[in-house]
Amino acid sequence: MSSSSSLNTVAVLFSGGVDSAVLTAELESQFPRIQPFYIRCGMLWEEAELVYAHQFLSLLNRKCFQPLKVFDLPLIDLIPNHWSFTGNAIPDHTTPDEAVYLPGRNLLLLAKTGLWCRMNDIETIALGILDSNPFPDGTDTFFQSFQHTLNQALPGSLSIITPFAGMTKTEVLQRGAHLPLGSTFSCINPSHSQHCGECNKCEERRQAFHKAKLHDPTNYINNPL
């Protein structure tokens, strides 16, 4: 039987990046209880992401936030030669968004999170997907279809929401300008939990702060010419 607290809870896939951080903070106005999730798959940047994820939530220090839940979903047996595990040919600042594709990422993350949510009577999962997401598992069609699949496979009802689906990263930064954005993380090749400054995601972050006309608080190890 569902409890009132679980029915008023939203689960949010929280990576510690700008998009999921701003989304998590904004969900407070819609839900009295927020359960952030981090899914650890064994990729190069996850240790650093977790440091920043805990730091961001700690700085906000809001009563509605439940402690960060960390689940393990190892993928190295599926894609052992992928750059996200090997560190070889990591997409740099000259590459397009498509270069950072992680096969079936949202499919896998939602499957594990969705099962936990239904086992705990939580009815809503939120993701910080943006308008610029170029991947097949980042579309409205995918989320609607997968929501239907989850509700066929599991008892109860589960909704997948993507409040930032029509926004750019620049717009999200502007919405979150009042938040401790220096405690977010966006790098796929970190060193000692610092942004490398040279990868695809660091460049995306740098450009978004510039376009948003906001001070970039990020400490980049390198700055490509």
Buried b (16+ CB within 10 A) or exposed e, 41-78: bebbbbebbbebbbbbbeebeeeebeebeeeeeebeee
The answer as to whether 22 is a domain residue is yes
pTM, full prediction: 0.92
The answer as to whether 88 is a domain residue is yes
The answer as to whether 223 is a domain residue is no
What length is written for the chain? 225
Give tens-digit pLDDT for 172-188: 999 999 999 999 999 99
Give tens-digit pLDDT for 108-124: 999 999 999 999 999 99
The answer as to whether 224 is a domain residue is no
For residue 201, give the 3-state DSSP assignment.
helix
Of residues 135 and 56, more confidence is placed in 56
Report how many domains make up the chain.
1
Question: What CATH number is attached to the domain comprising 18?
Answer: 3.40.50.620
> What percent of the chain has a predicted confidence (pLDDT) above 70?
96
Residue 169, pLDDT score:
94
pLDDT band at 131 (very low <50, low <70, confident <90, very high): confident
Q: Are the CB atoms for 105 and 142 separated by under 8 Å? A: no
Range in 68-77, 130-139, 144-153, 196-205 with the lowest mean pLDDT: 130-139
The answer as to whether 152 is a domain residue is yes
Give tens-digit pLDDT for 138-176: 899 999 999 999 999 998 899 999 999 989 999 999 999
Residue 1 has pLDDT above 50, yes or no: no
Q: Whole domain around residue 64: which residue ranges?
A: 4-211
The answer as to whether 222 is a domain residue is no
The answer as to whether 221 is a domain residue is no
The answer as to whether 126 is a domain residue is yes
